[in-house]
Amino acid sequence: MKDINSICHFFENMNEYVYVTDIETYEMVYMNRKTLEAYGLKSLDEIKGRKCYEILQKSSIPCGMCNNDKICEGFFEEWRHYNSVIDKYLILKDTLVEDPQEHRKYRLEIGIDISEERIQDKALQKYNSMEALANEGLRIALMASTPDEAIYTILEYLGKSLNGERTYIFEKNEKGGDDNTYEWVAEGVKPEKDNLQNLPPEICANWYHRFQKGKHIVFHDLEEIRETDPLQYENLKRQDIRALAVVPLYDDGKVIAFYGVDNPPPLSLEYTSNMLQITGHFLVSCIRRRNLMRELEDMSYKDALTGFGNRFAMNRYISQIDHKKSVGVVYCDITGLKHVNDTMGHKAGDQLILRACDCMSKAFGDYGVFRIGGDELLALCSQIEQDALEERIRLLRKLMEENTVNMAVGMIWQDEATTELDILLQESEKRMYADKAEYYRKNGIERRRH
């Protein structure tokens, strides 16, 4: 055994798994230090007389994948194998070694541990699958008919590919608070969008401070921010958020929004953050297109001076009214507008119109309010009770008095909107003219308009 012993001595301190067996009897002849440790053995004495398959595979019969019949001296037979006993993925290199003194042949096997590479491969495969799903979301989003539809598609596919419970976008509102404008939730997860409107600015203040420095938000455990950001901590804890990744959305260097994923797997949080940053550019494009469409819609459906709906907006509102429910129509005419324009100028006239609209907004702003002529304003109130409508008329008159505005008012109410709206509009207009005539009569003013 002099020759085989000298060979074995060479492998003793190698960082690979090495063992030698008798090719005829399957008896284990040698294990280097690393292999002994892997199998929980302390010395070669513990392997004497034992079969290789008993030790290496914990089997009572020779291994089915044994390649003793294929190996030859001077060449290495290479193959891969997962050894469940030591829980390792191995590249195995087998060769035949002959001992001329003993006239015996031995199988020498060197095992190279590739477990870490396999784990990385699996992670890579996982990430490739995640990216493929996200890319599919981008492909579908590009075919969406509206920016809103595209945004919701992206959030859904991101949420699914990143294994999150919730994906969302927050945007600043006109009051300086933060609104949850878009949301996707996984099955069984409670939506939070309705509870996250007009968040006080101080809740996300620390986040915006980081965003302005080009940083994003990632934490594996909510408790990490308990002391440093108590307001946000309470906000997130209420939503049962344990971990998250949030990134800002920039347009021309300015933070216009932020979006994120709640409770993704902690081990993939950094990858999640990277995916969010990559996809964020597409979302910014969607938000730009959405804002442009809103501006165009405002131009098409809103009165430029007052911000009230125009006749196109009125017709759209009418088309959405439930005809089985009640409806109230309030037709108003700003008294004296022409006189103000003629004597004080159109700027003063515009101010009068704006004061009149302010009164209408405070009285009927939660319904449909429209400017349908130079001095004519209209409120359409779907699903309103008659008493409530009359109370709002009283409020309107009080507001007019407080704001030095006079409007003739014509009101009509029906418990079901079965009558053609055009007929109701005509009837409310007649009542408005009757109210105006009564105003002229009481104040001794000659009527100039019929």
pLDDT by residue for the chain (450 residues), tens only, comes to 446 676 677 788 888 899 999 999 999 999 999 999 999 999 999 999 999 999 999 998 888 888 998 998 878 888 888 888 998 888 899 999 887 777 889 999 999 888 776 655 555 555 555 556 556 766 776 777 889 999 999 899 889 888 899 999 999 998 999 999 999 999 999 999 999 999 999 999 999 999 999 899 999 999 999 999 999 999 999 999 999 999 999 988 899 999 999 999 887 787 788 788 878 888 888 899 899 888 888 788 889 899 999 999 999 899 888 888 999 999 999 998 999 999 999 999 999 999 999 999 999 999 999 999 899 999 999 999 999 999 999 999 999 999 999 999 999 999 988 778 889 999 999 999 999 888 888 877 665 543
Phi, psi (degrees; rounded to nearest 5) at 84: -75, -20
Counting the structural domains of the chain, the total is 3
Q: How far apart are CA 108 and CA 31, in angstroms?
A: 10
Nearest alpha-carbon partner for 29 in 63, 5, 11, 10: 5
Q: What 3-state DSSP class applies to 118?
A: helix
Phi, psi (degrees; rounded to nearest 5) at 200: -55, 140
Residue 101 exposed, middle or buried by CB count within 10 Å (0-12, 13-18, 19+): exposed
Q: What pLDDT is stored for residue 450 in this prediction?
A: 39
Q: What pLDDT is stored for residue 274 in this prediction?
A: 79
Assign residue 53 the CATH number of its domain: 3.30.450.20
**Residue 294 forms part of a structural domain:** yes
Do both 167 and 293 map to the same domain? yes
Q: What pLDDT is stored for residue 406 in this prediction?
A: 93
Do both 145 and 77 map to the same domain? no
Q: Which domain holds residue 25?
A: 2-113
Do both 172 and 235 map to the same domain? yes
Lookup: tokens for 143 = 């075919």
Kindly report, residue by residue over 420-445, the tens digit of the pLDDT.
888 999 999 999 999 988 888 887 76
Kindly report, residue by residue over 15-42, the tens digit of the pLDDT.
889 999 999 999 999 999 999 999 999 9
**Residue 448 forms part of a structural domain:** no
Lookup: tokens for 305 = 């001076």
Q: How far apart are CA 6 and CA 1, in angstroms?
A: 8
Q: What pLDDT is stored for residue 2 in this prediction?
A: 44
For the chain, the residue count is 450
Do both 396 and 420 map to the same domain? yes
Predicted model pTM: 0.56
Do both 361 and 335 map to the same domain? yes
Q: What pLDDT is stored for residue 449 in this prediction?
A: 46
Phi, psi (degrees; rounded to nearest 5) at 8: -60, -40
